Amino acid sequence: MKLKPLSDHVVIKPLEAEEKTAGGILLPDTAKEKSTRGEVVAVGSGKVLPNGRTIKPAVSVGDIVLYSKYAGSEIKVDGKELKIVQESEILAIVG
């Protein structure tokens, strides 16, 4: 299924959570937090202003991004876990 987000929404494929701490300690599955990093897989056309102008999105497909912990909606498409977030919920592009 092809997914095309509307306006300023972005579809993100969450990346796996870290399995080790910075000190090298392995974390069990129960101690892992949900990842707040992901890969952008689809981008909407941009935010539409009240005057009708559209602001182009700052992210593009393939970017690795950091997003808010409780951002967006979790969905499942073709067996894959995805998140749909507004562009404003994306905190940074990992470069």
Q: For every one of its 95 residues, what pLDDT tens digit does the chain have, with 9 covering 90 and above?
A: 688 999 999 999 998 766 666 677 766 666 556 778 999 999 999 999 999 999 999 999 999 999 988 889 999 998 999 999 999 999 999 97
pTM of the model: 0.80
CATH of 9-17+28-94, one of 1.10.10.10, 3.30.1360.170, 2.30.33.40, 3.30.565.10: 2.30.33.40
Q: How many residues does the chain have?
A: 95
Q: Are 55 and 63 in contact (CB under 8 A)?
A: no
Specify the pLDDT at position 89. Answer: 94
Specify the pLDDT at position 41. Answer: 95
Distance, CA of 36 to CA of 90 (rounded, Å): 10
